[in-house]
Homo-oligomer: A and B are copies of this chain.
Amino acid sequence: MRVHIIGTGLLGASLGLALSANGHEVTLEDTSPTAQQLAADLGAGRVVNAKTGTEAADTTDPDAPDTAPAHPDIVVVATPPDVAARVIATALETYPDATVTDVASVKTRLLESVKTLVTRSQLDRYIGCHPMAGREKSGAIAAQADLFTARPWVICSDEDTPESRLGEVIAMATDTGASVLHLDPRIHDAAVAKVSHVPQIVSSLVASQLRHAPLEEIALAGQGLRDVTRIAASDPGLWTQILTGNAEEVRSVLIDLRTELDEVIAALELGPGSTGLLAKAIALGNEGHDRIPGKHGQPPTTYAVVTILVPDTPGTLARLFKDIGDLGVNVEDFRMDHASGRKLGMVDVSVVPAIQQELEIGLLSKGWQIPESAIEKEGTA
A positions within 8 Å CB-CB of B = 17-18, 20-21, 32, 34-35, 38, 41-43, 132-134, 137, 139-141, 143-146, 151-152, 154, 181, 183, 187-188, 190-192, 194-196, 198-211, 213-222, 224-237, 239-240, 243-244, 247-248, 250-251, 253-258, 260-262, 264-265, 268-269, 271-272, 274-275, 278-293, 295, 297, 299-300, 307, 309, 339-344, 346, 369, 371-374, 376, 378
Contacts and interface: CB of A to CB of B under 8 A. Distances in A.
B243 A268 contact: yes
Contacts of A262: 258
Contacts of A219: 152, 181, 293, 297, 299
A373 B211 contact: no
Contact of A191 (B151, B216, B295): B216
A288 B346 contact: no
Contacts of A217: 187, 190-191, 194-195
Centre residue among A203, A204, A275, A289 by max chain B CB count within 10 A: A289
Contacts of A38: 371, 373
A250 B279 contact: no
A221 to B, nearest CB: 5
B205 A257 contact: yes
A350 to B, nearest CB: 15
Given A144-B339, A258-B261, A285-B229, A216 B187 contact: yes
A250 to B, nearest CB: 6
How many copies of this chain?
A: 2
Given A141-B371, A209-B256, A210-B292, A234 B340 contact: no
Given A41-B369, A244-B274, 17 more contacts: A133-B222, A143-B342, A145-B339, A146-B339, A187-B217, A196-B224, A198-B206, A202-B228, A208-B287, A210-B291, A219-B297, A227-B230, A232-B282, A234-B286, A244-B271, A248-B268, A254-B264
